[in-house]
Structure formats: structure tokens, C-alpha cells
């Protein structure tokens, strides 16, 4: 069946939609033995944040079996479903924990005529986001209803076309997930090397006969206690207006959405900037940025550091929500970044942030932070070990970015039928639901 005669349908005709249960917060736990809850606050752009999920006592979970999620289920936050970062949706993956659905979050499954895997890409499409944005209602808590979700209209392709579209898109997703797992493993290697070297004070070079002190003849307790401001300069980023952010042209714009919760860099958070800037408002590969603004009252971003990766474009303008920390001679950026990420810096400094709706951190709180600075030769040993690992992370990140852009360009063409896959010989391993 060609695109032109795909029937137009409402989502409600083809999905099983369930909203969650109002679990009482007084029974929430933090025990890893209990079952995580999927709330709107931990549904993000294409993923669910399990680390900060509230939990429900396992012994009380059986009576809520109706709200237990299963692999493939598509999840959409109904309160603030669309924010500047994008649509708050996700899906349950094979590696995700068993979990329960909380009120004001919708769970969707396709019926026999709509594959749930295809539904996932439909909900994640720009077409659905464009539908949601203008119909969100409410002043204090913008929201969308279950009926509004069901009213979304789309062209429904035959099941064979759905399967082929899913096979193409999921192939990209699998490669992206594999790269992300490799990056995570490499970052864990860097964390371990830093911890062994500068927290546990073991040798930078592993030995089959045990570990030696990090620097023979030296006691790490004798290293100089310094302030960040003594060994680095701190620069505030560029203030901007909406008209400075463009779809094409300009320079990459490093902003708060580039900051991972807990630290690290998100390439998919980059925007494009067009306008004036100073030289000290630019960043390049390997430079350090720290969030000094946070819209999450849980302080998930503020005081956390990221290292700007090599993603193929340089330099970048960076936002006033961030500061750039440039080490002076004698201090290696790889060491300084490790100190910011792995030594407890963020946990201490973020407590100085204040504000009602938006948290703000005075850069002086960063400048005044004290730590022990190893001699340059010790920092250099560490740099020689971790810099190649950072380069490999950058290479994987660039490959992932290309894959993501290709997938995102294919997605609207596949769900609209603009790209005809009917005659493609695609090996379909199984009939997904």
C-alpha cells in the first residue's frame, strides 16, 4: 500500500493507554531492594533516570500488578510533557529494572494493527512533539490529558512497513547504545585511575607485586594545599537571547543542556549561536566547563563539571549558565577535570547555590575551593594515561552523533511514508509487538 492511501487514524483507535497510580509518598523508600517508580520527574528525552527514582516496598507491589511496566512499553509524562530540552518520553528496555507506573504518566502499548516498537518512534517524532506543544494547558503545571494523547492523528502504514521501519531505526539505536556503553566503560576506567592515583594514593602504574606510593619519596599529605583560583582562571559565559539561537549557521553553543546529571558532556544538548562574543567566551576540545545555574531543585546540575569533547567543530561559544575553568601553567587540565568530577568537589560546592525557582552559584565558590595539588610530574604521568582514553571517548562520541543525525533525518521520512521501504529486502528476525 503506497503512502498516499495509508489511512489516517487517531492514536486512541490503536493504543492501550493507561495512566499510573497515585502511590503515597510517605511509603516511598530508597532501598535498592524495592521497586523503582516511573514518575514524570524521572522521564526525560528518550530515557528514564533510574538513579534518582523513588521506590515502592516490594512486599506491597503485588496488589499493583496492573501498573507494572514491561519491556517495550512507551512512557509519556503528562505534566510538563514538553520542555525546552524536548518531549519527556521514554520506553522500557530489556536491561531496565521491574518498575511501577505513577499517576500523571501515560503508558502506551500498540494493538494488533500498531506495533509498540513503531509506536515508540511515532511518539518520539517531531510530528507528535509539534502536536503536543500548542495543546498543553495549565499555568502552574502545564499538562496534557489522556484523551488529548489519543486524539493525535497519523497515517497508519501496513504492519510489514512498520516492521521494516522499526528494523531500520532500531539498527541505528543499537549502534548508538553500544557506543554509549563503550563510552561509559572508558569513563569508568578514567575514574578508577584518578581514584587509585589521587584518592587512594596508589601507583599510577599497576604492578603484579602490589601497589607502590604514587610518587616515591613523597608523601601526598605534603602536596601544596591550593585554591582553584590559585591555579586556574574562571570565565563566565555569554548571555544570550532567543534570537541568538538559530537552526543553521553560527557556532556550536555549549549550554546547560550539554551538562549530564552528575557531570559529563551531552553532545545532543548543543545549540547554534549567532551574535557577538568575546574570546574568553569560547571553548575548545579538552576545556572544562562547570554549571553555575540549575533549574532542578535537586541540584542535579549545579557545580557539576564537563569536559568539552572533540565533536568535529571548534571553537564553541558557551552560555552564561556555565563558567570555563582554564588551568595555569603547571596544572594539567586532565588532572583538574578529574578533581572536579571524582573528588567530592561538586557535592561540597553545590551547597552554596541558592535561589527560589532557579539555583545560582557564585563563581567565587568555585574559586575558593581548596584541594591538594600534586607536583607537575605526577600530573603528567596521569595525563599520559588518561588522555588517549579521552580521545577514544571523543571518537565514539563523534560516531554516535553521526548515527543520531542519520536516524533523526530518517525518522520523519519513514513515519510519513516519504521514504518507501516496501520493496526493501530487510531481514526481519521476528514480528515485534
CA neighbor of 75 nearest in space, from 165, 15, 139, 154: 15
- Cell numbers at 6, concatenated: 495509508
Nearest by Cα to 286 from 264, 308, 266, 269: 308
Q: With beta carbons less than 8 A apart as the criterion, state whether 299 and 353 touch.
A: yes
Name the CATH architecture for the domain at 158-208+376-427. Answer: Orthogonal Bundle (1.10)
Average pLDDT per run of 10 along the chain, which is 433 residues long?
74 97 95 95 89 92 96 96 87 95 98 97 95 89 95 96 95 94 95 90 51 52 93 97 92 93 86 96 97 82 94 92 97 97 95 90 98 94 94 93 93 91 70 46
Give domain 3-156's CATH number out of 3.40.120.10, 3.90.220.20, 3.40.50.1820, 2.60.120.380.
Answer: 3.90.220.20
Q: What's the pLDDT at 218?
A: 57
Q: How far apart are alpha carbons 221 and 240 in whole angstroms?
A: 44
Q: Do domains 3-156 and 158-208+376-427 have the same CATH topology?
A: no
224-373 under CATH 3.10.20.440, yes or no: no
**Domain residue limits, the chain:** 3-156, 158-208+376-427, 224-373
Amino acid at each position: 500500500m503506497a503512502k498516499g492511501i495509508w489511512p489516517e487514524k487517531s492514536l486512541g483507535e490503536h493504543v492501550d493507554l493507561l495512566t499510573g497510580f497515585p502511590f503515597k509518598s510517605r511509603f516511598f523508600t530508597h532501598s535498592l531492594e524495592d521497586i523503582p517508580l516511573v514518575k514524570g520527574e524521572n522521564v526525560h528525552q528518550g530515557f528514564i533516570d533510574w538513579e534518582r527514582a523513588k521506590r515502592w516496598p516490594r512486599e506491597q507491589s503485588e496488589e499493583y500488578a496492573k501498573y507494572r511496566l514491561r519491556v517495550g512499553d512507551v512512557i509519556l509524562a503528562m505534566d510538563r510533557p514538553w520542555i525546552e530540552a524536548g518531549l519527556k518520553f521514554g520506553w522500557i528496555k530489556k536491561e531496565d529494572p521491574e518498575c511501577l507506573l505513577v499517576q500523571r504518566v501515560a503508558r502506551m502499548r500498540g494493538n494488533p494493527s500498531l506495533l509498540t516498537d513503531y509506536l515508540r518512534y511515532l511518539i518520539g517524532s517531531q510530528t507528535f512533539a509539534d502536536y503536543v506543544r500548542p495543546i498543553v494547558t495549565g499555568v502552574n503545571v502545564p499538562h496534557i490529558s489522556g484523551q488529548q494523547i489519543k486524539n493525535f492523528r497519523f497515517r497508519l502504514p501496513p504492519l510489514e512497513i512498520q516492521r521494516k521501519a522499526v528494523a531500520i531505526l532500531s539498527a541505528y539505536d543499537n549502534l548508538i547504545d553500544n557506543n554509549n556503553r563503550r563510552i561509559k566503560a572508558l569513563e569508568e576506567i578514567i575514574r578508577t585511575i584518578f581514584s587509585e592515583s589521587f584518592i587512594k594514593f596508589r601507583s599510577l602504574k599497576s604492578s603484579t607485586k602490589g601497589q607502590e606510593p604514587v610518587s616515591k619519596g613523597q608523601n601526598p599529605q605534603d602536596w601544596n594545599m591550593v585554591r582553584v583560583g590559585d591555579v586556574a582562571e574562571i570565565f563566565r559565559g555569554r548571555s544570550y537571547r532567543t534570537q541568538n539561537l538559530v537552526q543553521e549557521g553560527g557556532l556550536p553553543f555549549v549550554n546547560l543542556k550539554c551538562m549530564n546529571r552528575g557531570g559529563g558532556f551531552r553532545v545532543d544538548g548543543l545549540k547554534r549561536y549567532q551574535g557577538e562574543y568575546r574570546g574568553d567566551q569560547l571553548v575548545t576540545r579538552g576545556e572544562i566547563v562547570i554549571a553555575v545555574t540549575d533549574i532542578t531543585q535537586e541540584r542535579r546540575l549545579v557545580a557539576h563539571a564537563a569536559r568539552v569533547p572533540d565533536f568535529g567543530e571548534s571553537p564553541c561559544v558557551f552560555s552564561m549558565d556555565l563558567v570555563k575553568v582554564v588551568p595555569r601553567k603547571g596544572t594539567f587540565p586532565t588532572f583538574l577535570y578529574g578533581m572536579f568530577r571524582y573528588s567530592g568537589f561538586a557535592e561540597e560546592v553545590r551547597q552554596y547555590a541558592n535561589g527560589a525557582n532557579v539555583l545560582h552559584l557564585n563563581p567565587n565558590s568555585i574559586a575558593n575551593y581548596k584541594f591538594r595539588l600534586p607536583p607537575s610530574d605526577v600530573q603528567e604521568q596521569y595525563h599520559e594515561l588518561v588522555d588517549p582514553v579521552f580521545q577514544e571517548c571523543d571518537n565514539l562520541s563523534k560516531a554516535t552523533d553521526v548515527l543520531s543525525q542519520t536516524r533523526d533525518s530518517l525518522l520523519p521520512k519513514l513515519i510519513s511514508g516519504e521514504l518507501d521501504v516496501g520493496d526493501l529486502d530487510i531481514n526481519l528476525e521476528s514480528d515485534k509487538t
